[in-house]
Amino acid sequence: MWHMKNRLSLLLVTLMFTVLPMTGQKTPVGEYSLKYGASCSEPRQDTDMQRFRHHRLGAFVHWGLYAIPGGTWEGKTYRGAAEWLKSWAKVSNEDWMKLMAQWNPERFDARAWARMLKASGARYVKITTKHHEGFCLWPSRLTPFTVEHTPHGRDVLGELVEAVNDEGMDVHFYFSVMDWSHPDYRSSLRTSQDSVAFARFLDFTEGQLRELATRYPTVKDFWFDGTWDASLRQNGWWTAKMEKMLKQLVPGVTVNSRLRADDRGSRHFDSNGRLMGDYESGYERRLPDPVKDLKVTQWDWEACMTLPENQWGYHRDWSLSYVKAPHEVVEHIVHAVSMGGNMVVNFGPQPDGDFRREEKDMVKALGNWMKRYGECVYGCGYAGLRKQDWGYYTAKDDTLYMVVFNRPYSGMLNVVMPKGQSPQMACLLDGTPLRIEETASGEYHVAMPRKDPGEPFVIRLKISRSGSTKRQYREALT
């Protein structure tokens, strides 16, 4: 045993003196020495990151040529995601790009969009600058497939950036690296010709990202997608380079983990288990389990959600899907916040530039709820307490929120407190006090409000910590 230990230390010492000086990096023993791994090991605490985190609720907008066929091609309706129709119906790039001749969204009004999205309670808007199809919502100089070469001709993205910013919201850019329209795109690199073509493709993509960052410098975030192919995994260096480049071009900008792959092809988290990019972005139409997945409370993350099961772009026939009710969406938002994450709710505008009825109704319902109860969402996070049968806890500084979705028959909500803490005061957000009872077993109950709110509602709790209370007394006395 002693020998083993000795040998191990010898190995460690040799490693420290040989490998580390060679790479010039401090690599803890037992870890891979990575050139393109995580750029920081702790969550960012600068003002831009805090702003991102405090917003908590965003709106996604998926808009592109796919809105025109809306899930139907040559008379056949495809149930899959509408923004993937080109792939489902095996449409050639040439035929797909003929849709550009029909891009004339007469009812598109960026200001109306921004007002509407703001009314949902969202604090930022994520816009698809370019989805997998390759059609750009900005007049890119690097491809013919842009809004500029359509009957509409307008810089849709530019108009949206301005309108969304004028409404006081942040703009985030969705960008798909995978591009079905580009002749040099490769999903895998089998031959040296593939590698040469893909290198050209990466240059082209870098150029597009430069365009976006310099044309629209108020952008706060780049949310990458379409990064799962082997070709990109083998080029982790490029994803690290893009993160660096964007951060130089747009100080303070945030980048999602989906952009990133490291030297060894690990995605999201590097080979040493560290989060790459500024926040984790793998929760898509699903959320971390509130009991099993508490590890997510250690880093920043953002989830996104569709209103039907799986439609991001406009699909004409939502009758093929289950569509969430507003209270379910509210629960997803609160669930995310209760575990320290953001939630982005998706909208897929129609080809005429208007929003479908269901989305307008959703905005109103969400907005009404957020106006009344947003206090438990904005700037809030993980409370250090588990999900309860009645709903979720969120927290902000010394305030604890109970967000109640399920009412017990008894009308008494069980409050679980960490040891040494007790609820001192419970009230509704309008200040209406609620009765607190201590049970024989030392648990606390808060009584439901006399009048049932008839919707998910929020209780604000003031907590006393015995330790800190004692300290406060002592400080008051001295």
Closer Cβ to ligand JFZ, 36 or 84, answer by number:
84
Closer Cβ to ligand JFZ, 324 or 445, answer by number:
324
Closer Cβ to ligand JFZ, 111 or 316, answer by number:
316
Closest contact distance (angstroms) between CB of 230 and ligand JFZ is 16
Closer Cβ to ligand JFZ, 225 or 354, answer by number:
225
Closer Cβ to ligand JFZ, 236 or 456, answer by number:
236
Closest contact distance (angstroms) between CB of 119 and ligand JFZ is 23
Closest contact distance (angstroms) between CB of 94 and ligand JFZ is 22
Residue type, 327: H
Dist. CA 333–CA 374, nearest whole Å: 10
Dist. CA 33–CA 25, nearest whole Å: 7
Dihedral pair phi/psi, residue 318, rounded to 5°: -80, -5
For residue 419, which of 449, 443, 388, 386 has the smallest C-alpha distance?
A: 443
Closest contact distance (angstroms) between CB of 190 and ligand JFZ is 23
Residue type, 273: G
Closest contact distance (angstroms) between CB of 84 and ligand JFZ is 6
Q: 329-339: b or e for each residue (b if 16 or more CB lie within 10 Å)?
A: bbbbbbbbbbb
Closest contact distance (angstroms) between CB of 329 and ligand JFZ is 16
The answer to whether the CB of 220 falls within 8 A of the CB of 254 is yes
Dihedral pair phi/psi, residue 405, rounded to 5°: -105, -30
Closest contact distance (angstroms) between CB of 38 and ligand JFZ is 19
Q: Is the dihedral of CA 249, 252, 256, 262 positive or negative?
A: positive
Closer Cβ to ligand JFZ, 312 or 390, answer by number:
312
Closest contact distance (angstroms) between CB of 179 and ligand JFZ is 12
For residue 65, which of 94, 44, 40 has the smallest C-alpha distance?
A: 94
Closest contact distance (angstroms) between CB of 312 and ligand JFZ is 4
Give the residues lining the site for ligand JFZ (CB under 6 A). Answer: 81, 83-84, 225, 282, 284, 304, 312
Residue type, 269: F
Closer Cβ to ligand JFZ, 32 or 228, answer by number:
228
Can you read off the two tokens belonging to residue 216? 């629209």
Instruction: Please state, in angstroms and as integers, the Cα–Cα distance from residue 132 to each residue in 145, 201, 219, 303, 405, following that order.
Output: 12, 14, 21, 20, 38
The vertex-79 CA angle with 77 and 80, nearest 5°, equals: 120
For residue 164, which of 254, 251, 55 has the smallest C-alpha distance?
A: 55
The answer to whether the CB of 383 falls within 8 A of the CB of 338 is yes
Closer Cβ to ligand JFZ, 220 or 315, answer by number:
315
Closer Cβ to ligand JFZ, 138 or 312, answer by number:
312
Q: Which residues are within 8 A (CB) of 90 and not within 5 positions of it... i.e. 6 or more apart?
A: none
